[in-house]
Amino acid sequence: MILTTRCPQCGTSFRVQPAQLTARGGKVRCGRCNAVFDGVSGLLEQEPAAAQPAEAEPSPQLALFEAARRWPPLAAAEAANEEARAEFLDEQPPPPRRRLAWGLAALVALGALGAQAALHFRTELAVLVPEARPRLAAACAALGCELRLPRRPELITIESSGLHTEGPRENVIVLNAVIRNHAPFPQEYPALELTLTDPRDEVVARRVLAPADYLGAEGAAGLAQGIAPRAEATLRLLLETSDLRAVGYRLYLFYH
């Protein structure tokens, strides 16, 4: 069904479909002067070409669509104006090529986000998926980052420790300790802080021992593997105290 509406700004007439008028509440844009107007109120009303038999008065909703069948053809002057197109205010879908470009861009962005997440949580990912560790290590080597073992201090404890002098050498003390990893995955060796105290339990010396310090040359080979899951590590370290008169000590572990 074809209807005709007229722009009140420039007088240009357009042929329209009823669906076009109802798509945006009847609002259309004139293709000649760009004016936005109510296409329903601008419908052309003409007398029917022949008398019609008496009928029951149609409903207002049907009158809009029935009018086109009663209107005669447009005059030649008006028909010439119909070459202008009315631009209806409905959003057109993007062309297929644009949709494809946006889809590819979304996939690239999603892949980049996944790569960033994998890099940020590389330690956790290497624990959950051990077979991915070589690839993560290679990626870190290329990007200049480091793939380390987990460090969960709440899952690692000092099971036992002892401090005593080394035979006749009173200025040399020996630290013995057993560290246990309670986690179901390997962990880095922690740092140890050793504090020496006098008879009044006041601090006379404090030293932080890195894993390389207390593992020594023999244990350095296992430093990269860390403490095995649910396993213990035993350490023994000799320390010179000079003329310090220490009778007690405190020892705790931490990661930094």
Question: What digits encode the pLDDT tens for the residues 118-166?
Answer: 666 667 667 777 777 777 777 777 777 777 788 889 999 999 999 888 7
The pTM score is 0.49
pLDDT of residue 254: 94
Phi-psi region of 8 (alpha: psi -120 to 50; beta: other; left: phi over 0): alpha
- Inter-residue contact 240 to 169 (CB < 8 Å): no
Main-chain phi, psi angles of 63, to 5 degrees: -60, -35
How does residue 179 score in pLDDT terms, banded at 50, 70 and 90? Answer: very high
How does residue 79 score in pLDDT terms, banded at 50, 70 and 90? Answer: very low
Better-predicted residue by pLDDT, 209 or 94: 209
Answer yes or no: is pLDDT of 229 > 50. yes
Domains recognised in the chain with CATH numbers: 3-88 (no CATH), 96-143 (no CATH), 153-254 (2.60.40)
Q: To 5 degrees, how large is the angle CA 9–CA 12–CA 15?
A: 125
> How does strand 36-38 pair with strand 13-16?
unpaired
pLDDT of residue 94: 61
Distance (Å, whole) CA 167 – CA 173: 9
Question: What digits encode the pLDDT tens for the residues 52-66?
Answer: 554 545 544 444 444
Answer yes or no: is pLDDT of 73 > 80. no
**Within 10 Å of residue 84's Cβ, how many Cβ atoms?**
16
